[in-house]
Structure 1
Amino acid sequence: MAQFNETELTAAVVKSFEQTPNPRAKFLLQELVKSLHDYVRRTDLTFAEWEYAIDFLTRTGQKCSDIRQEFILLSDVLGVSMLVDAVNHRDRDGATETTVLGPFYVGEHKVTPHGTDISAKLEGERMFVQSRVTDLAGRPLANVPVDVWHADGDGFYDSQKPSFATEGASSRARFITDADGRFFFRTILPCSYPIPTDGPVGEMIMQTRRHPMRPAHVHFLVNAPGYEPLITHVFIGGDKYLDSDVVFGVKDELVAQVETRSDAAMPDGTKATGPWHLMTYDFHLKPGEGLAPKPLGAKVAEPA
């Protein structure tokens, strides 16, 4: 008869999954059991701590809804989201670095003409973004859809606002690269912003004396046939949170030095009404396969 003591219990639970039909599911479950049991032993976990953890996870689930995904936020602030991204993109071979999708991706965006001001309804410092998509040899990739989205000057995404359902997208669009792999658009300069702190994840961040801030960035999803989909951010150089992003998403290569300009016109000839900013960043894609991601967990969720 099995003796379910401290050491033999783990082996018994691992063995209980031996008949799992899917080999990958079997492996993942057995490794999870080993890691969890090892954590309990190494920490001498008390009943009170175990009960607190159960309550924390229960409240995390209860905070999830059609417009919020607290478990993604938990994954982000524990560095799990970025670690999953890292182990799935170990060999970049000169391709642009990846980072997390972020749960404010709401699915396929509307195709928009080059030069459009995607933040026309918003107040803020104006910014012109110019970019090019190439392969690893620098050859342009034409007719490639590029989704872009970012927060507004107050640190909110359009889909966080009640007006999203009636007024539609803002600071969000899809562009198709031209024959030279280029696309460009106008917008506002995004700002750094806090993740939500009104739920259990925010409670954990505040109680552990971590700050809740993300550095300013623009999201890009580049999806060219015959190449790995590229999910990344471009961060605004000089942001004070670049070295302490609450979700650990910053990589040196993804920081753009955004120029402040006083030219009378932007690169596409649009008249400037005052100082403006110029972001220039090119994307290099790696050959391969893959599907563009779907929104994670909900129509709208917490920042990443």
Structure 2
Amino acid sequence: MSVKIFDRPDVQEFLTVLSGLDKAGGSPRMKEITHRLMTDLFRAIDDLNITPDEYWTGIAWLNDIGAAGQAGLISPGLGLDHFIDERLDAIDAAIGIENPTPRTIEGPLYVAGAPESVGFARLDDGRDIEGQTLIMHGVVHGADGKPLPGAKVEVWHCDTRGFYSHFDPTGLQAPFNMRRTIFADENGRYKFQSILPSGYGVPPGSPTERLLSALGRHGQRPAHIHFFISADGHRKLTTQINIEGDPLINDDFAYATREGLVPRVMERDDEASIHANNLNGPFAEIEWDIYLTALVDGVDNQVNEQRKRAAA
């Protein structure tokens, strides 16, 4: 038997009270958001006939997500990060901004404070012998299409086991392994040497995996490399590229794959290329130019300064 009470006047009054809309103090914006979210939740409980057991199972799962520190993992897994990107794209389109380099999700594993260099950096420490050497380079362009000397390129990725430094459960990686900040040279160019990363999955048995399994979904990601790119007078770009050829490019549990973010991977085994990059053997090369967009009325309308990010 299904009984609905959502539309009762006393329930509507209760939503007003619990959201603080009948009080003078507090944050009007927080009241507005809380009232809307609780309204939608009350309606869902009524419409779907959610049982007490189902509700408290959900509460226990939320406790598990918090204890595991995986809110930033399930957020992209449920498509929220991608939806926010789609809204930002729509906002840009409405005010006439074109993004030559697409934005995409940040993910939860950025660490502030990576070592800095100008023009070039070596990301990996050479200990992951399973990894194929990668040389990646390109030019950062400004809103006028010209190269941007001094643009800040922050880059990070995982190793061939799918682990990121500072989050490696084995403890094998040194701090800031495969993490660097590169300032573009006088020609707007950046370049780094590293290894091709592997894809990875959410932790086995984790609350994130349990939810995805209940949805009939997997928790795997294709191999990818993360970027923040910023420069004076421009909006900060949050994006990532996928490694061409990965079978999960179009089946990413985090929904980060976007057209324009799968650059070609070129295999180099000729002596001239090897010598030019001071290497001892064949390597993979990715050339990828980046285009930033101008501030909107002097403001970065997409930056998320309030996000909590790990610090070394």
Query: TM-score, normalization: structure 2?
Result: 0.85
- Which structure 2 segments of 5+ residues have no match? none
With 250-259 and 22-31 compared, the bigger mean Cα shift is at 22-31
In the TM superposition, residue 23 of structure 1 has moved relative to its aligned partner by 2.9
Alignment CA distance shift 1:223-1:170 (3 Å): same
Could you say which residue in structure 1 is the equivalent of 2:78? 78
Counterpart pick for 2:286 among 267, 276, 279: 279
Could you say which residue in structure 1 is the equivalent of 2:242? 235
In the TM superposition, residue 254 of structure 1 has moved relative to its aligned partner by 1.0
Residue identity matched to 2:77: V
Alignment CA distance shift 1:149-1:295 (3 Å): farther
Measure the CA separation in 2 of the matches of 1:165 and 1:30: 47
With 219-228 and 205-214 compared, the bigger mean Cα shift is at 205-214
In the TM superposition, residue 40 of structure 1 has moved relative to its aligned partner by 1.3
Aligned 1:1-304 pairs, distance under 5 A:
5-8=5-8, 9-16=10-17, 17-18=20-21, 19=23, 21-63=26-68, 69-90=69-90, 91=92, 92-121=97-126, 122-123=128-129, 124-161=131-168, 167-266=174-273, 269-288=276-295, 289-290=299-300, 293=305, 296=308, 298-299=310-311
Measure the CA separation in 2 of the matches of 1:116 and 1:285: 21
- Which structure 1 segments of 5+ residues have no match? 64-68
Measure the CA separation in 1 of the matches of 2:185 and 2:100: 20
1:193·1:214 contact (CA, 8 Å) conserved in 2?
A: yes
Q: How many residues are paired up?
A: 292
Residue identity matched to 1:240: P
Alignment CA distance shift 1:77-1:274 (3 Å): same
Show CA shifts across 1:195-224 (max 9, x none): 213321111223433121101111110111
Show CA shifts across 1:43-83 (max 9, x none): 111122112111111222222xxxxx211112121111222
Measure the CA separation in 2 of the matches of 1:209 and 1:28: 31
2:198·2:224 contact (CA, 8 Å) conserved in 1?
A: yes
In the TM superposition, residue 31 of structure 1 has moved relative to its aligned partner by 1.2
Residue identity matched to 1:275: P
> Which secondary structure state, in structure 2, belongs to the residue aligned with residue 62 of structure 1?
helix
> Which secondary structure state, in structure 2, belongs to the residue aligned with residue 61 of structure 1?
helix
1:60·1:201 contact (CA, 8 Å) conserved in 2?
A: yes
In the TM superposition, residue 248 of structure 1 has moved relative to its aligned partner by 0.8
In the TM superposition, residue 298 of structure 1 has moved relative to its aligned partner by 4.6
Alignment CA distance shift 1:198-1:268 (3 Å): farther
1:115·1:268 contact (CA, 8 Å) conserved in 2?
A: no
Could you say which residue in structure 2 is the equivalent of 1:66? none
Show CA shifts across 1:72-124 (max 9, x none): 11212111122223323432513421112111101132112434321132221
Query: TM-score, normalization: structure 1?
Result: 0.87
With 179-188 and 112-121 compared, the bigger mean Cα shift is at 112-121
Alignment CA distance shift 1:152-1:25 (3 Å): same
Measure the CA separation in 1 of the matches of 2:72 and 2:219: 15
Residue identity matched to 1:27: E
With 277-286 and 259-268 compared, the bigger mean Cα shift is at 259-268
> Which secondary structure state, in structure 2, belongs to the residue aligned with residue 183 of structure 1?
strand
